[in-house]
Structure 1
Amino acid sequence: MPYQYPHTIENGLGETIIFLGLEPSAGGDKLIAESFCQPGAGPAMHTHFKQDEVFTVLSGKMGYQILGEEPKMANPGETVFFKRGTPHKFWVEGQEVLHCSGWIQPAHSIEFFLGAVFAAQNKSGKGEPERFDGAYLLTRYASEYDMQDIPWFVKKIILPIVYVVGQLLGKYKHFEGAPEPLK
């Protein structure tokens, strides 16, 4: 899916990402972005299995945590690196909007995936994506992304069943042309 840059997505819950463009690199295209998080916003514990992610705090304060470690904080000018395969989360620490610059490498399907997750959150009007869209994304792209807070039984049994029901009901026409998941 070719995108025009800059490309902005918002989840209606206080998170905005502006994708600025792709930078060719020997390690795979690097997707350059800026993000803004309102106080109280930030993604749940998640994993990118195939990508490294870097944030540099421009303003505000970032709380962040790697699964199994104590929470830490990053101030303006500080950079946080999340290595691929490392479960992590971040949030706004304090009452000031968190503004970061950063990148994800290699880009793979992240722009599509995050855009679809944000759209599904907007569709549901709450933190979780709309049921069928969430099942589609978390089942189809399970080799690339994971959400640690979702119980194993739900991820391995319930979501795949909802995904199949969604296929039978024709719920995924808006995902036509979606990138193939990486194995």
Structure 2
Amino acid sequence: MKYPFAFPHTISNPMGELITFHDIEEEDGVKKMTVYNQVQPGSGPPFHVHYKQEESLTVVKGVMGYQIDGQEEKILEAGETVIFHRGQMHRFWNAGSEILECKGWIKPANSLDYFLSGIYSSMSKAGKPEGDPFDSAFLMTRYKSEYDLKEIPAFVKKVIFPITVLIGKFLGKYGHFKDAPKPIK
């Protein structure tokens, strides 16, 4: 897979998250993307899932809360690590009063940097967590075999998003996605 960004590549969203995709490493014949993130107090991504990837986060500084769907919330401090397995719906947040700093990896690398860059850009464009409706619908529909968000109702994902994407195509809203990597089936 060709990566659309040079490494390191840093993205941010208006909700208090900064992620740096540091580089790609080869591990047992699989491409692993190393990441660093900073999360403002009280911030963090909503429940989400990576269907094709494992994700590991190690707290470098601060306190991280995390939860695997259906389980109790847990806390990690500096030096502690969590691994979220493929298909495991999860969330994490800054549970402290200082900036949370983590390092980690995503394996295999796949399209995560492209997907999150698009989602964060959409959020910044709209100035809200839902992002721009056309961009969010495009990304969530195109990469539905790879990523999902628990908070989006099934009806929206199955009916509203595809209709929004069709309207967006008709209106010429997706020129900036012309080089979007193909989703992994």
With normalisation by structure 2, the TM-score equals 0.97
What residue is the counterpart of 1:167 in the other structure?
A: 169
Please show how residues 27-38 of structure 1 align to structure 2 within 5 Å: 28-38=30-40
Find the aligned partners of 2:73 and 2:145 in 1 and give their Cα distance.
27
Name the structure 1 match of 2:5: 3
What whole-Å deviation, never above 9, does each CA across 1:110-137 have from its counterpart, x for those lacking one? Answer: 0100111100000010111110000000
Cα pair distance change 1:27/1:50, threshold 3 Å:
farther
Aligned residues: 183
CA RMSD, 1 decimal: 0.9
Give the TM-score normalised by the residue count of structure 1. 0.98
Counterpart of 2:97, as a letter, is Q
Q: Percent identity?
A: 50
Partner of residue 138, structure 2 = 136
Partner SS, residue 19 of structure 2: strand
> Counterpart of 2:48?
46
Q: Distance between the aligned counterparts of 1:152 and 1:33, measured in 2?
A: 30
Please state whether the residue corresponding to 2:116 is helix, strand or coil.
Answer: helix
Match of 1:90 among 71, 92, 107: 92
Preserved CA contact (<8 Å) 1:49 1:143: yes
Shift >2 Å, 4+ stretches: none
Q: Does the CA contact (< 8 Å) of 1:27 and 1:105 recur in 2?
A: no
SS of residue matched to 1:85: coil
Could you tell me how far 1:2 is from its partner in structure 2?
3.8
SS at match of 1:36: strand
Structure 2 CA distance for aligned equivalents of residues 36 and 78 of structure 1: 16
- Post-superposition CA distance 1:1-29 (Å, at most 9, x none): 34222111011221000111000122520
User: Residue type of the partner of 1:89?
Assistant: R
User: How much does 1:96 deviate?
Assistant: 1.1
What residue number does 1:70 align with?
A: 72
d(CA) in 1 for partners of 2:155 and 2:93? 27
CA distance in 2, matches of 1:147, 1:13: 16
Amino acid at match of 2:73: P
Kindly state the Cα deviation for residue 158 of structure 1 after the two structures are TM-superposed. Answer: 0.7
Cα shift at 1:37: 0.2
Return closer, same or farther for 1:146/1:27 CA change in 2, 3 Å cut-off. Answer: farther
Contact 1:57–1:75 at 8 Å: present in 2 too? yes
Question: Contact 1:46/1:89 (CA < 8 Å) preserved in 2?
Answer: yes
- The corresponding residue for 1:107 is 109
